[in-house]
Structure 1
Amino acid sequence: MQTRATLVAPFYRHTTRLLAALCQPHRLVLAALFVAGVIAAVVGMNWRWLPRYLPLLIQGLEMTLIMLVASVVVGFLFALPLALAQAGGAALLRWPAHAFCTLVRGTPLLLQMWLLYYGLGAVFAQYPEIRQSWLWDYLRQAWPYGFVALTISFAAYQGEIMRGALAGVPRGELEAAASFGMSSRQIFRRVWFPRALHRALPALSGEIILQLKSTPLVATISVMDLYAVITRVRQATFLTYEPLLLMVAVYLCLSGILIVALRWLERRVPTGS
């Protein structure tokens, strides 16, 4: 049976290494500069507008998070079939999937968003059948077009990442799983997909961070996300630096939380059984 000292020793060593890493001179200097910058911003800038616009800022942050989470989840669900079609599908499926990923990745996300909102949205408005249906309650709003554009973009980029990860799984592992009598579905669920996901997670983490930084583009089609609210605050208060610094701080916090959560996930995703 392990003693208490045996159980505490790994935690003590990990804590000691962490403190030693944090106490390095360059990190202490950066931390001091950061604290000094925060104090200077709080003391020397005008933040009297913040309580008035706080409810609107919270609504904008909620829209940003909804756009991020929904587009990442749905985009990944679309990315997996795209990756499978390119990695192991027939030519009838492989070429359309490759063409879709190439087209989406080769055009700016802002252009895609404008084509959907100003182009497709205008087409929908020309049909009385659509305007009189229940769909018009959604199609006349801006957020569905922003959501679709973000989802398509994430699916195309992540589809290419998963294609490479699926293709990179050693064929011998798949053949070994088949020799144990696993069906194609069991091989995919227990070996191929877990191994590919483990290989793709570092790139997936980067794509999620990039997706977070792409969400402000929905403000260009009148979706009231955090960036749109900050723009409204700047126009109403004639302030420049304070609203922008607040937005920078929020996005830095969100990015930090995502990085920590995704690295935790990387350490716990199995590599396949």
Structure 2
Amino acid sequence: MALLLALMLTSRIAVLRWVAGAYTYCIRGTPLLIQVYLIYYGLAQLEWIQARWDTVWPWTYFKDAFFCALLAFALNNAGYTAEMLAGAIRETSPGEIEAAQAMGMSRWQIQRRIVLPSALRRTLPPYSNEVVMMLHSTSLASTVPAMLDLTAAASRIYSTYYLPFEAYLFAAGIYLCITFMLVGGFKWLENRYLAHLKPRTH
């Protein structure tokens, strides 16, 4: 979805740019918690959807709290990532595009073979930050009563055994370990796909 929105943001068609721009503006301009509430307490509670969520696809998913939270996180992440990709697409070196045109490539071939691979590689560093931020934002899923995520589990331990420090410290440790693995994975990808952009030492 982020890739599609990025292509719309950089399109020559004004309507596509306006639609994608309005979407990313609304997503980035409202808190993620409000978006979770709008989907779980708003969209998923509409009578029109509830009347169909036992039989009609895709409304069958909206009775699942996990799906509602996942949808909110996916829509939010797509809005931010689309702007990153669109910026990387706009910053593609004109020389690369001119070289592709000189070889006789069509506009879509240039996008597929030159622009998008280059933009995706250059977006890795900011996207890694977005992934880590989204991981930490998943703690907001605990605000949905039917959801039992890591933060909600720590809250239950606190309310049952009155051990707030131990429960939340353990939850923080798990988040820290997952973050460490994600950062390490993105560092490996950056070293593999962005090695040519590193300054030479000789």
Q: Distance in 2 between matches of 1:178 and 1:164?
A: 21
- Choose from 212, 221, 225 the match for 2:144: 221
What is residue 264 of structure 1 aligned with on the other side? 188
- Choose from 138, 144, 152 the match for 2:67: 144
Larger radius of gyration: 1
Residue-by-residue CA offset, 1:45-85 (whole Å, 9 max, x unaligned): xxxxxxxxxxxxxxxxxxxxxxxxxxxxxxxxx11111111
Structure 2, gaps ≥5 residues long: 197-202
1:133 corresponds to 2:38 = no
Counterpart secondary structure, 2:30? coil
Counterpart secondary structure, 1:88? coil
- Choose from 165, 189, 192 the match for 2:115: 192
- Output the amino acid matched with 1:244: Y
What is residue 93 of structure 1 aligned with on the other side? 16
What is residue 200 of structure 2 aligned with on the other side? none
C-alpha contact (below 8 Å) 2:28/2:80 kept by paired residues: yes
Residue-by-residue CA offset, 1:79-138 (whole Å, 9 max, x unaligned): 11111111233101001100100011000000011011111111046753x044154653
Q: 1:139 to 1:160 in 2, by over 3 A?
A: same
- Number of aligned residue pairs: give it: 194
Provide the aligned C-alpha RMSD in A: 1.9
- Choose from 159, 166, 169 the match for 1:235: 159
Residue-by-residue CA offset, 1:136-168 (whole Å, 9 max, x unaligned): 653222111101110010000001111110000
Q: 1:214 to 1:155 in 2, by over 3 A?
A: same
- Output the amino acid matched with 2:133: L
1:116 corresponds to 2:39 = yes
Q: 1:161 to 1:244 in 2, by over 3 A?
A: same
1:1-273 equivalent positions in 2, closer than 5 A? 78-124=1-47, 128=51, 130-133=52-55, 135=57, 137-222=60-145, 223-269=147-193
- Output the amino acid matched with 2:111: F
- Output the amino acid matched with 1:229: A
Structure 1, gaps ≥5 residues long: 1-77
Q: 1:184 to 1:243 in 2, by over 3 A?
A: same
Mean CA deviation greater in 256-265 or 81-90: 81-90
Q: Distance in 2 between matches of 1:127 and 1:232?
A: 29
Q: CA deviation at 1:189?
A: 2.3
- Output the amino acid matched with 1:96: V
Provide TM-score, normalisation by structure 1.
0.67
- Output the amino acid matched with 2:149: D
Higher RCO by CA contacts (8 Å cutoff, separation 6 or greater): 1
Provide TM-score, normalisation by structure 2.
0.89
Q: Distance in 2 between matches of 1:190 and 1:164?
A: 18
Q: Distance in 2 between matches of 1:242 and 1:208?
A: 27
Q: 1:189 to 1:101 in 2, by over 3 A?
A: same
C-alpha contact (below 8 Å) 1:205/1:262 kept by paired residues: yes
C-alpha contact (below 8 Å) 1:195/1:271 kept by paired residues: no
Once the two structures are aligned, what percentage of the paired residues are identical? 37
